């Protein structure tokens, strides 16, 4: 079994239902996110549109976070999920430096690394990840990539524009997007300008450690 | 290049909360800097033993003690940078061998243990239980410690290489830079420690190592600065932080001048004038500048948003 995600960006309307469901399900502390929906505005007024891209851990087949973790706190489980053992983690932040997608954060309460686990605990009880259940438009498609009859496999077969984030990194993500452009997937394809954020002056909780 | 589409798309991120900028900050710089001096001194002791063993007596004790202290500074900052420092023992009980962090931690521990033995032998020469001739045993051990110093120096480059998110750090260049940082700071440190105990010939020798290390490291940084952008867009975006009015441009050039350019000039002047104070100044600048150079190179790739 190889579990994977696919987000159909044609369907996503940026409601952030998945983000909230994830927060609640996994008790993700304030100022940190396992899953977040990035908004990028494209065009020049009045010809503008807003794009939405849910971003989470890609559960890479060749995961740099797993490779660099000195104590195997990050590890693969048999269904392909890259899971984390917070009791094992020493908080070296090697994984934070290694993940090309910025998917890992240091939990300010436990001072250990954390990230999306595809809701491994729910899957163990034959439930879907919380974000899949919460999405009102079914934009999150989840299933076994090794089963050609699964929803996700059928979706991949039926669509030509299936993409992953940063394929050049060689991580082989198990998380796909349909209907994405560079603006959605490539951080260099958009600007980040002071004052353009919907929420400016975001405060983050102190992490401990020695960040600048 | 995707950056060139910006004029057409006018794409602006209006909602995203990426990670805090710099995760590995100056604690990690301290770690790399102290380790360079610690291992560099061992390399220099070994070279001195090969070149002019009679002068070893003047620096054996001081060099091994300073190296040991610097390696402890390195370990201390490594530990302090952990978010869960009291779980450090997990590295020894649940080691994951694909991680350069694990391999490095084990090797550095053995290295520091051996250095402790050597330092203890030198301090308690008269009461040394291990051997009747402490100097001879020290010199024998030095060979193995020097061998071990090579991977201990290099493993940080391995960590940087495993940091897949940071395109700037490539193993071939980082490993050479780690060795050069060790030879630069090691030669500078032994020049300062040896002082008048070293002969002019030996000082010349270490001055040459200092000057050449500075030259080579500078050439590599300049190569990356000028040519790095020609291969990968991500590297172009990272190098923008040290170019033009980039956030770290001033600090980058301060580092290059203090660590490399000035010491190179001063070493050249020393060879002409034979003035010890010029050589001392070159050594101090190289050690201080190395911190700045390492810090800039550590921080800039972390400034680029990953999402
Ligand atoms: S997306 Fe990042 S955190 Fe997730 S498996 Fe890949 S490297 Fe690890
Ligand atoms: S922060 Fe924790 S999970 Fe991440 S690499 Fe270090 S020990 Fe592993």
The domains found in chain A, sorted by start residue, are 3-189 (3.30.70.20)
Cα–Cα distances in angstroms (integers) from residue A28 to residues A8, A74, A107, A204, B54, in the given order: 25, 18, 8, 14, 64
Q: Whose CA is nearest to atom 6 of ligand 1?
A: A60
Q: Please give the full DSSP string across A1-28, using - where no structure is assigned.
A: --EEEEEETTT-----HHHHHHHHHHTP
pLDDT tens digits along A72-87: 999 999 999 999 999 9
pLDDT at B66 over 80: yes
Q: Which of A108-122, B12-26, B273-287 has the lowest mean pLDDT?
A: B12-26
Chain A residues within 8 A of B156 when measuring between CB atoms: none
Chain B residues within 8 A of A64 when measuring between CB atoms: 162-165
Nearest ligand, CA A172: 1
Residues B33-37, mean pLDDT to the nearest whole number? 98
pLDDT at position A197: 79
Chain A residues within 8 A of B10 when measuring between CB atoms: 42-44
pLDDT tens digits along A12-38: 999 999 999 999 999 999 888 999 999
Cα–Cα distances in angstroms (integers) from residue B8 to residues A40, A191, B5, B23, in the given order: 14, 12, 5, 33
pLDDT at B278 over 80: yes
Ranges of H-type helices in chain B? 6-9, 26-52, 56-81, 90-93, 100-123, 134-162, 171-194, 200-227, 233-239, 249-255, 262-273, 276-299
Q: Which of residues 162-181 of B touch A (CB under 8 A)?
A: 162-166
pLDDT at A211 over 60: no
Nearest Cα residue to A59 out of A72, A77, A71? A77
By Cβ distance, the residue of B5, B11, B18 closest to A102 is B18
pLDDT tens digits along B143-192: 999 999 999 999 999 999 999 999 999 999 999 999 999 999 999 999 99
What kind of fold does domain B24-303 have according to CATH?
A: Formate dehydrogenase/DMSO reductase fold (1.20.1630)
Nearest Cα residue to A103 out of A17, A169, A24, A197? A169
Give percent of chain A above pLDDT 70. 94
pLDDT at B127 over 70: no
Q: Whose CA is nearest to atom 7 of ligand 2?
A: A89
Q: Which tokens hold the place of B182?
A: 């060790």
* Alpha-carbon gap, residue B129 to A196, rounded angstroms: 71
pLDDT at A207 over 70: no
**Residue A212: which pLDDT band, with cuts at 50, 70 and 90?**
very low
Residues B66-84, mean pLDDT to the nearest whole number? 97
Q: Which of residues 82-101 of B touch A (CB under 8 A)?
A: 82-85, 87-88, 90-91, 94-96, 98-101
pLDDT at position A202: 67
Half-sphere exposure of B70 (CA within 13 A, CB side): 24
Chain A residues within 8 A of B17 when measuring between CB atoms: 33, 36, 202
Residues A111-122: b if buried by 16+ CB within 10 A, e if exposed: bbbbbbbbbbeb
pLDDT at position B133: 82
Residues B252-260, mean pLDDT to the nearest whole number? 98
Q: Which of residues 57-86 of B touch A (CB under 8 A)?
A: 80-85
pLDDT at B240 over 50: yes
pLDDT at A193 over 90: no
Rounded to the nearest integer, the mean pLDDT of chain A is: 93
Ranges of H-type helices in A99-177? 120-124, 130-134, 151-158
Nearest Cα residue to A178 out of A1, A7, A5, A4? A7
**Residue B5: which pLDDT band, with cuts at 50, 70 and 90?**
confident
pLDDT at position B130: 59
CA distance between the termini of chain A: 42
Interchain pair A36, B87: CB under 8 A: no
Q: Give distance in angstroms: CA of A6 to centre of ligand 2.
A: 27
Report the DSSP pairing between strands A82-84 and A47-55: unpaired
Q: Please give the full DSSP string across B37-106, using - where no structure is assigned.
A: HHHHHHHHHHHHHHHHGGGHHHHHHHHHHHHHHHHHHHHHHHHHH-SSGGGTTHHHHS--TT-HHHHHHH
Inform me whether the C-beta atom of residue A42 falls under 8 Å from chain B C-beta atoms.
yes
Give percent of chain B above pLDDT 90. 87
pLDDT tens digits along B84-106: 999 999 999 999 999 999 999 99
pLDDT at A199 over 80: no
| CB distance A163 to A180 below 8 Å | yes
Q: DSSP assignment, residue A47?
A: E
Q: Whose CA is nearest to atom 5 of ligand 1?
A: A59
Residues B271-283, mean pLDDT to the nearest whole number? 97
Rounded to the nearest integer, the mean pLDDT of chain B is: 94
By CB atoms closer than 10 A (0-12, 13-18, 19+), residue A87 is exposed
Q: Who lines ligand 2 at CB under 6 A? A: A 68-71, 73-74, 84, 89-95, 112-113
Handedness of CA A176, B19, B26, B88 (dihedral sign): negative
* Alpha-carbon gap, residue B157 to B171, rounded angstroms: 6
Inform me whether the C-beta atom of residue A193 falls under 8 Å from chain B C-beta atoms.
yes
* Alpha-carbon gap, residue B118 to B187, rounded angstroms: 20
A38 sits in which H/E element? strand A36-44
Q: CA-nearest residue of chain A to B89?
A: A90
How far does Cα B147 stand from its chain's mean position? 17
pLDDT at position B272: 96
A184 sits in which H/E element? helix A182-185
Q: Which of residues 95-124 of A touch B (CB under 8 A)?
A: 96-102, 105-106, 111-112
- How many pairs of residues across A and B have Cβ atoms under 8 Å apart? 194
Tell me whether the omega of the peptide bond preceding residue A110 falls within 30 degrees of 0, making it cis. no
pLDDT at position B83: 96
Rg (CA), chain B: 21
Q: Report the length, in residues, of chain A.
A: 212
Q: Which tokens hold the place of A76?
A: 């693969």
Q: CA-nearest residue of chain B to A112?
A: B83
Q: Which tokens hold the place of B98?
A: 């694909």
* Alpha-carbon gap, residue A179 to B32, rounded angstroms: 44
pLDDT at B51 over 60: yes
Q: pTM for the complete prediction?
A: 0.94
Nearest ligand, CA B101: 2
ipTM above 0.90, yes or no: yes
Q: Which of A137-151, A159-173, B117-131 has the lowest mean pLDDT?
A: B117-131
Nearest Cα residue to A114 out of A57, A171, A187? A57
* Alpha-carbon gap, residue B248 to B251, rounded angstroms: 5
């Amino acid at each position: 079994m190889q579990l994977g995600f696919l987000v159909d960006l044609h369907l996503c309307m940026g409601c952030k239902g998945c983000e909230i469901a994830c927060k609640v399900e996994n008790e993700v502390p304030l100022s940190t996110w396992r899953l977040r929906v990035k908004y990028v505005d494209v065009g020049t007024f009045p010809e503008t549109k807003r794009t939405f891209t849910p971003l989470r851990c890609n559960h890479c087949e060749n995961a740099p976070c797993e490779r660099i973790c000195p104590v195997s706190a990050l590890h693969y489980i048999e269904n392909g999920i890259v899971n984390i053992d917070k009791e094992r983690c020493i908080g070296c932040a090697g994984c934070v430096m290694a993940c090309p997608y910025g998917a890992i954060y240091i939990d300010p309460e436990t001072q250990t690394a954390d990230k999306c686990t595809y809701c491994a605990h729910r899957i163990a009880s034959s439930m879907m990840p919380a974000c899949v259940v919460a999405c009102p438009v079914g934009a999150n498609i989840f299933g076994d990539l090794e089963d050609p009859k699964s929803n996700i496999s059928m979706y991949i077969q039926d669509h030509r524009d299936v993409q992953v984030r940063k394929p050049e990194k060689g991580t082989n993500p198990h998380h796909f997007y349909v209907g994405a452009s560079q603006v959605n997937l490539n951080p260099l394809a958009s600007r980040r300008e002071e004052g353009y954020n919907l929420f400016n002056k975001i405060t983050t909780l102190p992490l401990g450690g020695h960040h600048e | 290049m995707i950056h060139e589409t910006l004029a057409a798309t006018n794409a602006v991120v209006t909602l995203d909360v990426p990670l805090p900028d710099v995760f590995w900050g100056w604690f990690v710089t301290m770690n790399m800097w102290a380790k360079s001096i610690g291992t560099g001194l061992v390399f220099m002791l070994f070279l001195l033993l090969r070149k002019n063993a009679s002068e070893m007596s003047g620096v054996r004790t001081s060099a091994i003690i300073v190296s040991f202290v610097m390696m402890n500074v390195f370990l201390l900052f490594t530990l302090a940078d952990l978010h869960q420092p009291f779980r450090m023992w997990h590295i020894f009980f649940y080691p994951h061998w694909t991680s350069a962090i694990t391999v490095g931690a084990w090797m550095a521990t053995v290295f520091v243990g051996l250095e402790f033995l050597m330092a203890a032998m030198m301090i308690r020469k008269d009461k040394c239980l291990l051997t009747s001739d402490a100097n001879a045993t020290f010199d024998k051990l030095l060979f193995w410690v020097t061998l071990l110093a090579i991977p201990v120096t290099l493993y940080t480059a391995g960590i940087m290489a495993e940091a897949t998110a940071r395109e700037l750090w490539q193993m071939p260049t980082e490993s050479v830079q780690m060795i050069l940082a060790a030879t630069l700071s090691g030669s500078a440190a032994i020049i300062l420690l040896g002082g008048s105990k070293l002969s002019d010939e030996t000082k010349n020798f270490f001055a040459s190592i200092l000057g050449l290390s500075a030259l080579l490291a500078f050439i590599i940084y300049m190569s990356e600065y000028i040519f790095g952008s020609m291969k990968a867009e991500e590297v172009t975006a990272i190098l923008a932080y040290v170019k033009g009015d980039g956030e770290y441009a001033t600090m980058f050039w301060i580092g290059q001048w203090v660590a490399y350019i000035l010491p190179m000039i001063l070493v050249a002047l020393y060879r002409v004038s034979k003035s010890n104070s010029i050589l001392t100044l070159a050594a101090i600048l190289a050690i201080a500048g190395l911190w700045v150079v390492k810090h800039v190179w550590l921080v800039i790739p972390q400034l680029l948003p990953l999402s």
